[in-house]
Chain A
Amino acid sequence: KTQVEQSPQSLVVRQGENCVLQCNYSVTPDNHLRWFKQDTGKGLVSLTVLVDQKDKTSNGRYSATLDKDAKHSTLHITATLLDDTATYICVVGDRGSALGRLHFGAGTQLIVIP
């Protein structure tokens, strides 16, 4: 059963618009949550990591929130650029040790059009 659900599956926005990507999970325990960006045909690049029970991070035009009580995270992208076109993947780590596992969502495909 999928333990990390991302929505929407795909999203089209116009350059300059803002967008919000959602991640809901059932992973227990939930030590941390990461967002990755994957350009077509490329590997995953880490955007941010969230650790606290209610956490917020900001990395340029990317900002993210985590609510471990709700098991929910959001990734906000402001003033989108064409280069933001990519798949965004939510990953939940169930522990902070070598005994843990990373649980990957299937991703949200974002397309930014002119």
Chain B
Amino acid sequence: DMKVTQMPRYLIKRMGENVLLECGQDMSHETMYWYRQDPGLGLQLIYISYDVDSNSEGDIPKGYRVSRKKREHFSLILDSAKTNQTSVYFCASSPGTGIGAETLYFGSGTRLTVL
């Protein structure tokens, strides 16, 4: 069963705390992504990973970092979370190293609230 799994589904943190969002996929996809979704806006790319330890900044990387030590696992880390990082975070994966017409698979999202 092709799946992208995100943990946790919901998270509440205080400003200044560290946050770890986890994402796993069981399809051996090379490419993985972290996006955030805010009301009224399209998804925004935070980071993209082309394979283990091969990560690139997306459009809004400030305040975030990522880790990919295994192909099936991609983490998003917020060091000292800020209130404006309250959002829904989506992980996605795709086969190959391109983002052409091949299908993207999305996780169900993590709703993060920073108080």
Q: What distance in Å separates the Cβ of A32 from its nearest Cβ neighbour in chain B?
A: 5
**Contact at A101–B106, with CB atoms within 8 Å?**
no
Interface string of A90-114 (1 = CB under 8 A from B): 0101011110111111110000000
Q: How far is the CA of A51 from the CA of B100 in the complex (A)?
A: 9
Q: How far is the CA of A51 from the CA of B59 in the complex (A)?
A: 24
Set A43, A46, A106: member contacting B42, Cβ < 8 A:
A106
Residues of A near B100 (CB, < 8 A) are: 31-32, 93, 95-97, 100
Set A31, A44, A105: member contacting B104, Cβ < 8 A:
A44
Number of interface residues of A (CB under 8 A): 29
**Contact at A43–B108, with CB atoms within 8 Å?**
yes
Which DSSP category, helix, strand, loop or mixed, fits chain B's interface?
loop
Set B59, B101, B107: member contacting A101, Cβ < 8 A:
B59
**Contact at B43–A46, with CB atoms within 8 Å?**
no
- A64 lies within 8 A of chain B by Cβ: no
Residues of B near A100 (CB, < 8 A) are: 98-100
Residues of A near B40 (CB, < 8 A) are: 106
How many of chain B's residues touch chain A, expressed as a range?
20 to 34
Q: How far is the CA of A42 from the CA of B98 in the complex (A)?
A: 25
- A89 lies within 8 A of chain B by Cβ: yes
Interface string of B3-17 (1 = CB under 8 A from A): 010000000000000
- A21 lies within 8 A of chain B by Cβ: no
Residues of B near A89 (CB, < 8 A) are: 42-43
- B84 lies within 8 A of chain A by Cβ: no
Q: What distance in Å separates the Cβ of B50 from its nearest Cβ neighbour in chain A?
A: 6
- A75 lies within 8 A of chain B by Cβ: no
- B90 lies within 8 A of chain A by Cβ: yes
Q: How far is the CA of A104 from the CA of B88 in the complex (A)?
A: 15
* Additional A-B contact list (11), CB under 8 Å, known A4-B42, A49-B101, A95-B100: A32-B100, A36-B106, A43-B92, A44-B92, A49-B103, A97-B97, A98-B98, A98-B99, A100-B98, A100-B100, A102-B99
Q: Which residues of A contact B (CB under 8 A)?
A: 2, 4, 31-32, 34, 36, 41-46, 49, 51, 89, 91, 93, 95-98, 100-107
